[in-house]
Structure 1
Amino acid sequence: MNDRSSPPERSDMPPFFIVGSGRSGTTLLRSLLAAHSRIAVTPETHFMKRADREGAQSREAPEDFDAFWRDLVAWSRFREIDVDPAQVLARIKAQGRRDFRTVFAAMLEAYGETTGKPRVGEKTPGHYRYLDRIFAWFPDTRVLVLRRDPRDVVASHLNAPWVTDQMGPPQLCAPIVRRLRTYHVAERALLWRQANGEILADAESDPRLHVVIYEALVDRPEKELRRICAFLGESYEPDMLAPRENSTISTTDTIRVQWGDWAGTHRTRAAASVSAGSVGRWRERLSPDEVGLIESICGPAMARQGYRPEMPRSPRRFFGQALLHVGLAEDQVRQLIARGKAQLARG
């Protein structure tokens, strides 16, 4: 166990990142790497999305840093990484810069210091959308890209609270299209295609990226972890695969009370011994029409990556794709109404 009373050995290596389509095994990989004596991996920070809300696409720093900082440290994602805001702010001040990159780096460095480990990784699956900025901020970084069968990815999403909550009993003013299971099957399949078939399609050819196939990781964990450690420039440690049932590693959204039961189960599974039991579970959880819809949306990309389609092209693909357009239109109308109400409230 690391002695937190003394500062960790400093590492000049930049942070690394774990990305990929959601429900592809990023939490499992985080748990395995965090068992390394030198590696700490944060919960999901979603920092890039937060920075975009403050204009990071067009400027290097917040217009009003003090307001940005107050909102950031009050944010659930910041509180979840469990670092002292004063410690982070001290690092920012020591750099003499208050831009987005410095804030992010200070958060990650503080997390490493808190855990007593010199090497820090960050795990937010959706950060694959920001790789250009990540490489600009951390030119020597390394990125681990998780890849998994889209049918298992979609099946896993359908059991997650961010989907089941939307499909629950109708509530007044709740989105209509998002109550339909077919909509979520199509939406999650489309997100997988965008991630793996478009943004990360050529990940194997970029030396800064290392593709981790979920099915290989759970089938041959030691072999895959040795390759991952070599990519990161770290030595493999057998303890990474030691029994982890008593692990206290946190997972994203554990502070969301309404998701407490799911988060607890998710945390337990992430800490359990590596198992291939979830591979192919889509066969039990998805109907043939749902499988056909996913394969219709993801077909070319999944075939290139070795996932063989098994169903004929489903006529439901037209229904699912139509629902996606209707759902997007409904979201836009709701956003317009919300902005109008906000303007009226401001007078």
Structure 2
Amino acid sequence: MTGESCRPVFVLGCPRSGTTLLQQMLHSHRRIAFPSETRFVHTAYEARHRFGDLERPENRRALAEWITSGEGTKFKVLRLDAAAVVEEIVQGPPTLGSAIAAVFRAYARRHGKPRWGDKRPSYFRRVPMLRRMFPDAQFIHLVRDGRDAVSSLMRMPWFHGDIHTAALTWREAVDTGMRLRARLGPATFYEFRYEDLVADPEDALTRLCEFLGEEYDPGMRTAHRHARQTVPSTRKWHLRTHEEVNARRVGAWRDRLEGWEADFVQYVLASRLRRHGYALTEGARPPAGQLVRFHRLAVYRWRSRHARAVLARLAEAREPNPVVSCLDGPVSVS
């Protein structure tokens, strides 16, 4: 059945994998409101204990005011009436998920759409958090050739890692995607490739809409018109969203990576690249020192993830309220 789902939608993936392009396409669907990155979902979750018992209206107000005006959130990109949103949260159910859902539902209502979503590449690390708040959510994982993703990530002014960090981030994203696909199943988790999206947008988006329970909307093909209004020209790394969909950057790693970089990235990602259908080229084995450094970083990050998981379970045990959203059903639109 199409056209009736109201499940939240979350887009995730390794940074520089085309998630902003996909976000613009989804927002261009007549039934789905999909804002630019808001950055308050995971930060509100991490800060939830400071607001105390949300059964108390004054605590819900403090949470609402933090979401709408707190340092580091990007609530302003939604162009909503902050005071009205605060009151909606205060009058709503006393859970964190309900407060967050109220914001996105207000955004969807502003655009006259019954369904909402959110995009952030790093959500691949936070699916358990999102499922605690939105157990009926659907997840879309966009995968790009790891060599292209790494070479693009290395060029970003906001990326402060090295090639080892970039390659490991891609590996972690696709490995997490594989586990989520098996755990969540085809009705909840959908994975596809950036290269297929730009090669044949209509086919890729039609399949995606089938997963979402929606009819394909041809307006998704002209998402660049919306991007020209919402993606600032100062964000030069996203200016390609202002263009009609094209495949000009597929394989750009051949020009962007030095020879040793290409050899290193392909070597450490080889099995994952093959798994996702990417052809490998001939290359030399990286020096032992480079591989040792990469594997040490992988072990360090694995230990850090598990330490954070332990802390997360402890934090869950002392929550004063449930976090699950009690706001369900389609957004009321006039």
Q: TM-score range by the shorter chain?
A: 0.7 to 0.9
TM-score between the two structures when normalised by the length of structure 2: 0.76
1:162 is matched with 158
Amino acid at match of 2:91: A
Cα separation, 1, equivalents of 2:180 and 2:46: 27
What is the aligned partner in structure 2 of residue 287 from structure 1?
258
* CA displacement at 1:82 relative to structure 2: 2.3
Q: Give yes or no for contact 2:31–2:115 (8 Å, CA) kept in 1.
A: yes
For 2:104, the equivalent position in structure 1 comes to: 108
1:94 matched to 2:91? The reply is yes
| Partner deviation per Cα, 1:40-85 (whole Å, 9 max, x = no partner) | 10111233430343156xx996996555444332234222222222
The structure-2 alpha-carbon separation of the partners of 1:204 and 1:246, relative to structure 1 and needing over 3 Å to count, comes to: closer
Whole-angstrom CA distance in 1 between matches of 2:217 and 2:143? 23
Query: What's the counterpart of residue 204 of structure 2?
Result: 224
Residue 21 of structure 1: how far off its partner (Å): 0.9
- Going from structure 1 to structure 2, the CA distance change for 1:61 and 1:126 (only over 3 Å counts) comes to farther
Are positions 1:317 and 2:290 aligned together? Answer: yes
Assess, with a 3 A threshold, how the Cα gap between structure 1 residues 274 and 47 changes in structure 2: closer, same or farther: same
SS at match of 2:174: helix
Q: What letter is aligned with 1:312?
A: A
Partner SS, residue 142 of structure 2: strand
Distance 1:246 1:36, change over 3 A: closer
Quickly say closer, same or farther: Cα 1:62–1:100, change in 2 above 3 A.
Answer: farther
Are residues 49 and 246 of structure 1, via their aligned partners in 2, closer, same or farther at CA, if it must alter by over 3 Å?
Answer: closer
Deviations 1:242-289 (A, max 9, x none): 3734644534xx5xxxxx63x1x3443113111011110000000121
Are the counterparts in 1 of residues 25 and 223 from structure 2 also a CA contact under 8 Å?
no
Runs of 4+ in 1 over 3 A off after TM superposition: 59-71, 202-205, 242-249, 265-268, 322-325
SS in 2 for 1:117: coil
User: Following TM superposition, by how much is the alpha carbon of 1:154 offset from its aligned partner in structure 2, in angstroms?
Assistant: 0.9
Mapping for residues 1-347 of structure 1, pairs under 5 Å: 13-55=6-48, 65-74=60-69, 75=71, 76-97=73-94, 99-163=95-159, 166=160, 184-197=162-175, 199-205=176-182, 206-207=185-186, 208-242=188-222, 244-245=224-225, 247-251=227-231, 261=234, 263=235, 265-310=236-281, 311-315=283-287, 317-318=290-291, 320-321=293-294, 324=297
Distance 1:61 1:288 in 2: 56
* Distance in 2 separating the partners of 1:82 and 1:243: 19
The residue type paired with residue 192 of structure 2 is V
Q: For the structure 1 residues 247 and 134, does the alpha-carbon distance in structure 2 shift closer, same or farther, using more than 3 Å as the test?
A: closer
Distance 2:137 2:255 in 1: 39
Q: Alignment partner of 2:137: what SS?
A: coil
| Counterpart contact for 1:39–1:120, Cα < 8 Å | yes
Task: Count matched residues.
Answer: 288
Q: Does the Cα contact within 8 Å between 2:92 and 2:99 map onto a contact in 1?
A: no
Where in structure 1 are there 5+ consecutive unaligned residues? 1-9, 167-182, 255-259, 329-347
Indicate the structure whose relative CO is greater, using CA pairs within 8 Å and at least 6 residues apart.
2
Cα 1:150–1:110 change in 2 (3 A) is same
Report the identity percentage.
30
Instruction: Supply the AA of the counterpart residue of 2:102.
Output: A
Q: In structure 2, what residue type is equivalent to 1:318?
A: L
